[in-house]
Chain A
Amino acid sequence: MTVVLDASAMIDWLLGRLGGEAAADLERPPDEGFVAPTAFRYEVGQYFRHAPHNGELTVEQATAAMEIVADFGIELVDVPVLDAWQHVGRLSWGDAEHIALTLSLDGGVLWTTDARLTRSGVLTENQHRLLV
């Protein structure tokens, strides 16, 4: 099993919003490690770039969050643009990249906290896990 980590799952874990089981699984990476599309970095970066402006985090906390992301060991994959394009109709570009990457992997599973993604019907039950 190769786990594709969604940006929302990473952010929610960084903010301590995941339940015990989901957090523990994230903290014990699979043998193959985590993979994510390059859009992951943009989405996570955008969130923590704005968090100090929104008053959610201090600059130091946002910086710490990005340093944690850097250490987390996520392999970024450049998803072919037309693979993502196939799914972009109902989804954001970032979501489309996550979906395309999951579908391109043999045994790929998307770990996400975005219920809309799991309900989209693009991924089968075995291809996604909603972290709560």
Chain B
Amino acid sequence: MAGMRRTTITVEADNLAAARELGINIAEVSRKAIAGAVREARHRRAVERAHRLWVELPADREWGDTARKVDKLVADEMAADSTARP
């Protein structure tokens, strides 16, 4: 399907046998492996999208101090809320 990424998880037969011998819950391990693979794939997608976003942004823009801007935005909103009438 277009736009979908396939991630393959392989469990080696030797590992499977060893896991059984050690009493490891295969289903639980698989769930964790799948969750980890999904997390990695989403993170990879995020990085790729960020790189595309950077290309769109003007290189010579002066952004200012990010932390100070965040503090000011949060403070401004709180001030606006405190003066808002119900």
B partners with A: yes
| Residue of A whose beta carbon sits closest to that of B40 | A73
Contacts A16-B54, A64-B53: A8 and B70 contacting too (C-beta < 8 A)? yes
Contact partners of A92 in chain B: CB under 8 A: 71, 74-75
A68, B70: Cβ atoms closer than 8 Å: no
Q: CB-CB < 8 A to B54: which residues of A?
A: 15-16
Total number of residue pairs linking A and B with CB closer than 8 Å: 76
B74 touching A33 by the CB < 8 A rule? no
The prevalent SS among residues of B at the interface is helix
A89 to chain B, nearest CB (A): 15
> Do residues B73 and A72 form an inter-chain contact, with CB atoms below 8 A?
no
> How many residues of chain B are within 8 Å of chain A by beta carbon?
23
Q: Are B67 and A116 within 8 A (Cβ)?
A: yes
Interface residue ranges, A against B (CB under 8 Å): 7-8, 11-17, 27, 29, 33, 42-43, 46-47, 50, 56-57, 61, 64-65, 67-69, 71-73, 92-94, 112-114, 116-117
Other than the given A92-B74, A117-B67, 17 more pairs (CB < 8 A) read: A7-B70, A8-B67, A15-B57, A15-B66, A16-B54, A17-B63, A17-B66, A46-B77, A47-B70, A50-B73, A56-B61, A61-B53, A64-B49, A65-B53, A72-B46, A112-B67, A113-B66
